[in-house]
Amino acid sequence: MSRIFKYSFIFIWSAFVLTPLSWALVTSFKPPAAVNNGATFIPWLQFQPTLDGWKDITGISGYANLFPPLINSATVTFFATLVSLTFGCMAAYGLSRFSYGWKHYKNPDIIFFFISQRIMPPAVLAVPFFILLKTLHLLDTKLGLVLVLTSGLMPIVVWLLVDFFNQLPKEIDEMAMLEGCNPFEAFVRTILPLSKPGLTVAGMFSIIFGWNDLFFALVLTFTNVQTLPVAVVALNGTVTPFWTLCASAIFSILPLIGLAFVVERFLSKGGFAGAVR
Amino acid sequence: MAKITFTDIGQTYDKDPNQETWALKPMSMTLESGRSYALVGPSGCGKTTILNIISGIINPFQGKVFLDENDVTKLPTAKRNVALVFQFPTIYKSMTVEQNLAFPLVCRKWEPAKIKQRVGDIAEQIGISHKLNRSASKLGADEKQLISLGRGLVRDDVTALLMDEPLTVIDPQLKFELRKKIKQIIEGKDITVVYVTHDQYEAMTFADELLVMSLGKLVQRGTPEDLFERPNSKYVGNFIGSPAMNFFKAEVVDGFAQIGDYRLNTAVNLKKLSDRYLEFGIRPEHVRVQGGPGDNVLTVDFIGFDDLGSTRVLNCLFAGELIKVKVPRSFEMPEQGLIDIKLPKDNLLAYRDGLQVL
Ligand SMILES: Nc1ncnc2c1ncn2[C@@H]1O[C@H](COP(=O)(O)OP(=O)(O)OP(=O)(O)O)[C@@H](O)[C@H]1O
Ligand SMILES: [Mg+2]
């Protein structure tokens, strides 16, 4: 009984999630007639699929080319994630193992301070960041965008990793320090090798949030650096046909879908917590 | 090897000014170089806290720690060069057995060739030479503990070896083997060992000297014989020995302990004392079943016995007090009912407010 319930739930949920996606996927291969003369669903049966939509966004037809924005997005996301993970994991380790404080503010308050950066609506930060980057001459540069994105990704990384490190027994690094490591060596040599699952999850979240950022890219970059979400939105603003829009939507989520498959394998292999004892 | 000295060390985790609540009440002690010590006491009495203060994992709230003549109170763990085996096997899961054993030496930047040789030697001693290339996470709990120990011994210059209940997570069948093995490995070495356990037999087999703790205080230290023959408090009398020491209350009359109609001679000169009542204690091992009346002989009601395997314990009632008598298995059990038991004078100790009267 509970089995039937479980499977029907999964079925309904998948339908809920997959229908819009598959609708977009199918539409991206439609010729104009298949869209304009009433709804069609099944390729080859109801219409002859074409690649016109895809040619429009890959520069083949000369309409638009989403590859440069893709590369921009990938570069910016990669470096923002790299910086967030590198510094975030050190911050998280420190917050997990040592106590800091000023007056009655202690580690939990510092962690809350980190996460509060995410609670703030990005719109609040738009003007300050704009002025900041303008002063530094970093408007419309990848570096500027990386810095701004990092400020949003780091809190997620720290928050996730503090929790992860808290689950690793502190005896491991205490032992390493007893055996002659300084705290940094203890972290790098004994804790990091055990942290692949945690780093993977934190990295994945960081990539997803970085990849999907539209707001800051829209405000802080103009012509030199156009990221994928900005480019897709720009297509929307012109008289782009439906099939091309659908192709652009699918195009922009393909890399994340690929990532999901890679990471999924990684996670189930490592096991998440309890990697010790 | 080093001498470990505590001067006025106290520890509180919540910085409560009331010392009575401290995890470790201020104490001073010296652990001599090259000797092995066992710290025993019930859960939460501060055993781990003491080890952590020696190793530097925690900084004491007050007082100083010395290794030999050096004040190491503020010295980071890495500089103290102490070896520690935790209650739960602590191994670096991402490494092989060999890398685990080599880790402390790699940290010390030894040459690879020297490391390899040293690791080989130690692996031989702890008997896992054939598993050097295995992933350390694949080993059993007992082997993991041996590796923890090996990582401690691989440094030839450790100041002290600390073990925090290393056998707790080991299966009972393996416990005995592993205990023997650890003892063998340590025995040949001139090493200062502090071994924490709440098992008194483990403590006695391991250590030259026992330190009995209770509620953050050191209650008594001494050889197993000291603790057994001359417990300085009712606490030690109850904690060490199985079954616990017999205690009963008696009136002090004319230098004798008067209980019911009987007058007993004791190891203490009671004439000097002004107490009207005292408690008296005697080990069940020292009480003897006697054929007939005599000095220090009581007639008691024998109500049954507990079988401990190699020994048996007779439960006897006298004036409402339970007195236990430990006899070898070969001892022929009397009928239930009245029997005579002798409480030898020299083994009958006096206690006031839980502390021994000398
Ligand atoms: N990090 C800590 N924070 C707060 N209190 C602590 C901490 N470590 C230990 N304590 C407290 O200090 C007291 C002594 O603890 P300790 O771990 O030294 O006991 P123990 O003798 O090792 O006990 P066990 O046999 O259970 O290991 C206990 O009351 C414990 O609750
Ligand atoms: Mg403990």
- How far apart CA B239 and CA B229 sit, in angstroms, is 13
Per-residue model confidence as pLDDT tens digits over A55-71: 999 988 888 899 999 99
Identity of the residue numbered A3: R
- Structural domain contains residue A130: yes
The Cα-based distances of B158 to B8, B80, B103, B108 in angstroms read 25, 8, 14, 13
- Structural domain contains residue A51: no
Mean pLDDT of all residues in A105-120: 88
Task: Find the helix or strand (DSSP H, E) in which A45 lies.
Answer: none
Per-residue model confidence as pLDDT tens digits over A161-196: 999 999 999 899 999 998 888 899 999 999 999 898
Does residue A274 have a pLDDT over 80?
A: no
Does residue A266 have a pLDDT over 80?
A: no
- Structural domain contains residue A119: yes
- Pairwise CB contact (< 8 Å): A277 & B78: no
CB of A101 within 8 Å of a chain B CB? The answer is no
Phi-psi category of B164—alpha, beta or left, where left has phi over 0 and alpha has psi -120 to 50?
beta
Does residue B77 have a pLDDT over 60?
A: yes
- Structural domain contains residue A59: no
Half-sphere exposure at residue B109, Cβ-oriented, CA atoms within 13 angstroms: 2
Give the CATH number, domain containing residue A129: 1.10.3720.10
Task: Tell me, using a 6 A CB cutoff, whether residue B119 lines ligand 1.
Answer: no
> How close B88 comes to chain A (CA, Å)?
7
- How far apart CA B71 and CA B74 sit, in angstroms, is 8
Structure tokens at A93: 């380790």
Closest alpha carbon within chain A to B151:
A179
Does residue A276 have a pLDDT over 50?
A: no
Mean pLDDT of all residues in B26-48: 92
- Pairwise CB contact (< 8 Å): A172 & B76: no
Does residue B319 have a pLDDT over 80?
A: yes
Q: Which of B86, B94, B138, B149 to mutate to test the interface with A (most CBs of A within 10 A)?
A: B94
Chain A residues lying within 8 Å of B80, measured CB to CB: 178
Give B320's pLDDT tier (boundaries 50, 70, 90).
confident
> How close B93 comes to chain A (CA, Å)?
7
Does residue B60 have a pLDDT over 90?
A: yes
- Pairwise CB contact (< 8 Å): B103 & A176: yes
What's the confidence (pLDDT) of residue A212?
Answer: 93
Number of domain units in chain A? 1
- Structural domain contains residue A135: yes
Per-residue model confidence as pLDDT tens digits over A46-55: 888 999 999 9
- The structure's pTM equals 0.81
Percent of chain A with pLDDT over 70: 96
- Structural domain contains residue A274: no
Report ipTM (2 d.p.). Answer: 0.78
Percent of chain B with pLDDT over 90: 52
What's the confidence (pLDDT) of residue A272?
Answer: 47
- Structural domain contains residue A264: no
Structure tokens at A47: 């219409």
- Structural domain contains residue A145: yes
Per-residue model confidence as pLDDT tens digits over B136-184: 888 888 889 889 889 988 888 888 999 999 888 888 888 888 888 888 8
Mean pLDDT computed over every residue of chain B: 90
Domains of chain B, first to last: 4-239 (3.40.50.300), 246-357 (2.40.50.140)
Query: What are the contacts of A137-143 at 24+ separation with CB within 8 A?
Result: A139/A220, A139/A221, A139/A222, A140/A220, A140/A221, A140/A222, A140/A223, A140/A224, A140/A225, A141/A221, A141/A224, A141/A225, A142/A72, A142/A75, A142/A76, A142/A79, A142/A225
Q: Which atom of ligand 1 is the closest one to the Cα of B14?
A: 4
Which one of A172, A185, A194 has the shortest CB-CB distance to B107?
A: A185
State the residue for tokens 């520069």: A59
- How far apart CA A126 and CA A130 sit, in angstroms, is 6
Q: Which atom of ligand 1 is the closest one to the Cα of B51?
A: 18
Q: Residue A77 is part of which domain span? A: 72-225
